Structure 1
Amino acid sequence: MSSSGSSTSSGASTSPTSHAPGTSAASVTSTAPSAPSEQSAPRRQFAGPDSGSGSGRRVSLPAALVAVVTVALVVSGIAPYDRATWLMETFWVVISVPVAVVVWRRFPLTRLLCVLLALHALILIFGGHYTYARVPLGDWIQDGLGLARNPYDRIGHFTQGFVPAVLLREVLVRRSPLAGSRWLAPLTVCGCLAFSAFFEMIEWWAALIGGEGADDFLATQGDVWDTQWDMFLALVGATSALLLLSRVHDRLLAGFPRPAPDGAADPPRS
């Protein structure tokens, strides 16, 4: 009796696991959670934290905008009104699109800024193809409102303040200690106005080099105050962007890394 009891107790003590009646070790093993596979996780390319859920949606908007701008740029280069004007007007697009694609993984942009940059690029492309004084949209506005000149260049310079204001604000919020500072808005406006003044100097240099051949690029249309109007509209555009879009922009920026307390920017999210 004692030997059988001891053998029974020793057998129970040496059993590594116990199973409920009707179950087996194989069934227990099969129900154990498996480690997630790293290969199953989709790669995040050309997307930002506010780009939506699902890998397809994350890719669609920026890629679609780049495709639209690229196609418009290529088409606009087919028999433009003046080739030199087309080159000068679309130079910014030719440079900006590749730069945005290259730096996207380290500095993805908000969807709002992507749309605005694409819109600005299209305005430049149409102005380069037709020249600003001859864009059909400007002719329609001129006829509809009874204006003395084609106002498309006014639209372009308003946009030259509106879109860069959002771009500069996004860079300052994400890469400087100015997030939430009262200096953010005035410095953004000053930066846009400075760029507008620099662009007017580019037009001046183009006039000195090209002479009358630069008239289509200048698009003054006989207005002696054209330079002042251009800078004023850029100022109005930058101010309007901050008044209309700052709250929306802040919500979109909430998912992006902010500068560390010591002023050093956090590394971008993968």
Structure 2
Amino acid sequence: MNSPRTPWLIGASILLLGLLALSGYRPYDLATWALEVAPVLIALPILWATYRRYPLSTLLYVLIFLHALVLMLGGAYTYARVPLGFEFAEAFGLQRNPYDKLGHFFQGLVPALVAREILLRGDYVRTRAMLAFIVACIVLAISACYEFIEWGVAVAVGQGAVEFLGTQGDPWDTQSDMLFALLGAICALLLFSRLQDRQIRRLPPRGSDRSTQPNADPE
């Protein structure tokens, strides 16, 4: 892979694997850790497997890395016990640890930009208004599916799923989780669309030989 980004992505992957191992060293609850970091274990091999024929924008790689950090920290402590969340709760007078809402915000932010990039590069959507609408719908569908997974885990393992669910006694936790995912998608569309557009224009055409385009990488 003759690309200026490749060494940085390799370094980021190695760092990510090291942090993943660190988060899995004596976590608060091993089963919860495994469930929370599963998206990282799934996404990383896929990103490398598709890097040559379908590289993503640098923006997406950076945000995926940050999302992985959020997931690993939540997995190590469980979302209801992340120290950073207690700091926010104390600062804003909240009754619960809000760190899980950060996780769901990223659950909307990152998939929104992934969906947007795929739709744009495949020329599947013609108008920007329809693009934004479809992206928001995709994010809400992903968020709802994740809530289904949480529900399925709760039914399967019973009381043992309490740490994974992280509702902290909030009867509206599911609804607020999906709201924060939607807010993440909206922020992605408002804050990062132009930057993503510029980076997409600098990506090599799909299926092209990257080795012959050393300067085709995004910002």
Question: Is contact 1:107–1:268 with CA below 8 Å preserved after alignment?
Answer: no
Q: Specify the alignment match of 1:93 in structure 2.
A: 40
Q: Specify the alignment match of 2:153 in structure 1.
A: 206
Quick check: which has more Rg, 1 or 2?
Answer: 1
Tell me if 1:226 matches 2:173. yes
* 1:99/1:212 CA distance change after superposition, 3 Å: same
By percentage of residues, which structure has more helix? 2
Structure 2 unmatched runs, 5+? 211-219
- Please point out which of 19, 25, 28 is paired with 1:78: 25
Deviation of 1:257 after TM superposition, in Å, equals: 5.0
Question: Is contact 1:65–1:115 with CA below 8 Å preserved after alignment?
Answer: no
Question: Is contact 1:172–1:179 with CA below 8 Å preserved after alignment?
Answer: no
Q: Specify the alignment match of 2:92 in structure 1.
A: 145
Aligned equivalents of 2:208 and 2:115: distance in 1? 18
Deviation of 1:211 after TM superposition, in Å, equals: 0.9
Deviation of 1:180 after TM superposition, in Å, equals: 5.0
Deviation of 1:146 after TM superposition, in Å, equals: 1.6
Aligned equivalents of 1:269 and 1:247: distance in 2? 26
Q: Specify the alignment match of 2:137 in structure 1.
A: 190
Counterpart of 1:268, as a letter, is S
Question: Is contact 2:150–2:165 with CA below 8 Å preserved after alignment?
Answer: yes
The alignment-based identity, stated in percent, is: 46
Aligned equivalents of 1:99 and 1:198: distance in 2? 20
The alignment covers a number of residue pairs equal to: 210
Q: Specify the alignment match of 2:217 in structure 1.
A: none
Deviation of 1:182 after TM superposition, in Å, equals: 3.3
Q: TM-score by structure 1 length?
A: 0.74
Tell me if 1:268 matches 2:208. yes
Counterpart of 2:186, as a letter, is T
- Provide the aligned C-alpha RMSD in A: 1.5
Question: Is contact 2:144–2:178 with CA below 8 Å preserved after alignment?
Answer: yes
**Residues 221-249 of structure 1 deviation map (CA, whole Å, 9 limit, x = unaligned):** 00000000000110111011001110111
Structure 1 unmatched runs, 5+? 1-42, 48-54, 259-265
Question: Is contact 2:79–2:100 with CA below 8 Å preserved after alignment?
Answer: yes
Q: TM-score by structure 2 length?
A: 0.91
Partner-residue secondary structure (3-state), 2:96: coil
Q: Specify the alignment match of 2:12 in structure 1.
A: 65
Q: Specify the alignment match of 1:249 in structure 2.
A: 196
Partner-residue secondary structure (3-state), 1:142: helix
The structure, 1 or 2, with the larger RCO (C-alpha pairs under 8 Å, 6+ apart) is 2
Counterpart of 1:175, as a letter, is G
